[in-house]
Amino acid sequence: MARAVNPYVWGDPWEFDPRLSRVTATLGDVPWVGRPHHGPCFLLQRLDGWWGGGAVSGGPTPFPAGDSGIHGDTFLHGRVVTLRGKVLTENGAQQLDAFDELGAIFATARRVRLEVEESERSMARYLTVAPVTLPVPQPISDRVAEVSVTVESDKFPLLDVVEQSVTIPAAGVSMKNDGTYRAYPVVSLVGPLTNPGLSWPGGSWTYNSTIPSGTTITVEMDRRWVRNLANTVHSRNVVSGSWLGLPRGATVVKRTGRGSGSIRAVWRSAWS
């Protein structure tokens, strides 16, 4: 007797479909694979909202009202990203365990990291996200369930997973952004320093005060925060100049001011 041929279920763990994505993702601690494999896995079939820029809203926003999404006078929404795919398992018990794993992504943290790897471009980037809708798996069988989860970030640029850092000397140092959007560094001013600052082609930034030995002032260039993290004191009112955002390519940044302390910057390349 000839064996009956069952309709093909796209995403069946024992079949191979070359149309499946070669993009993989990790949401929190849960990996989503681009191609099915034997054994339990979360198969990523669609990733909506990852590519493309962020939506712009509102008119000119008063600077004091700006939050982490403010750049100049325009508010840029964070991204809304939806992961759609299948939960592939070998039996019903594994499927229930997989559902528990998905449900625990946001059980202990409001914000987690969504990291996406595009192997064909040798590129991995991430967003920090919070849930808009939690995962709700829809079982099709003991081996296959459909699932989607929607998350939202507070910023729209995609950030390189690899962090870059440098100590900035008076003679200057090259700071490179491999992306397509300005990369905003976090700068640490470590005392003793007097009127420490930065200069670069077309701009400069200065902290117009003295930082004693043993004190560190942390400057987040995108949020425009100037804080002593030890006592949470803000001191943006002593700052003058423009806020450093690295354009695509290499930018030579120099240290200004006086003192034997140090100025250190950390950043990640950014994409719109």
Q: Report the sign of the C-alpha dihedral through residues 159, 165, 170, 171, in that order.
A: negative
Q: Amino acid identity of 128? A: T
Task: Report mean pLDDT in 10-residue bins for the chain, 272 residues.
Answer: 39 52 91 86 92 61 50 64 93 94 90 93 94 91 94 91 97 97 97 98 96 96 91 88 96 98 98 90
Structure tokens at 116: 């996406």
Q: Give yes or no for a cis peptide into 60 (omega within 30° of 0).
A: no
Residue 119: predicted pLDDT: 86
> How high is the pLDDT of residue 10?
41
CATH says 23-160 is which class? mainly beta
- Joined together, the tokens standing for residue 74 give 């325009």
SS3 content of the chain, % helix, strand, coil (to 5): 10, 50, 45
Q: How far is CA 69 from CA 113, 137, 222, in A?
A: 18, 32, 8
> Would the CA dihedral through 41, 96, 111, 45 be positive or negative?
positive
Predicted local distance difference test score (pLDDT) of residue 109: 86
CA atoms within 13 A on the CB side of 1: 3
Q: Would you list the domain boundaries of the chain?
A: 23-160, 164-271
Torsion angles phi and psi, residue 120, rounded to 5: -65, -25
- Are the C-beta atoms of 214 and 191 separated by less than 8 Å? yes
Residue 181 has a pLDDT of 92
CATH class of 164-271: mainly beta
Euclidean distance between CA atoms 196 and 190, whole angstroms:
10
Look at residue 37 in the predicted model and tell me its pLDDT.
77
**Rounded-to-integer distance, Cα 104 and Cα 95, Å:** 14
Report the alpha-carbon angle 245-211-204, nearest 5. 25
120 secondary structure, DSSP code: G
Instruction: Report the distance separating Cα 210 and Cα 205, nearest Å.
Output: 15
- The DSSP bridge partners found for residue 159 are 126, 270
d(CA 210, CA 192): 8
Domains 23-160 and 164-271 share a fold: no
CA dist 96 to 3, 11, 43, 177, Å? Answer: 31, 18, 16, 44
Closest CA to 243 of 174, 182, 194, 167: 182
Q: Are 236 and 219 in contact (CB under 8 A)?
A: no
pTM for the whole structure: 0.80
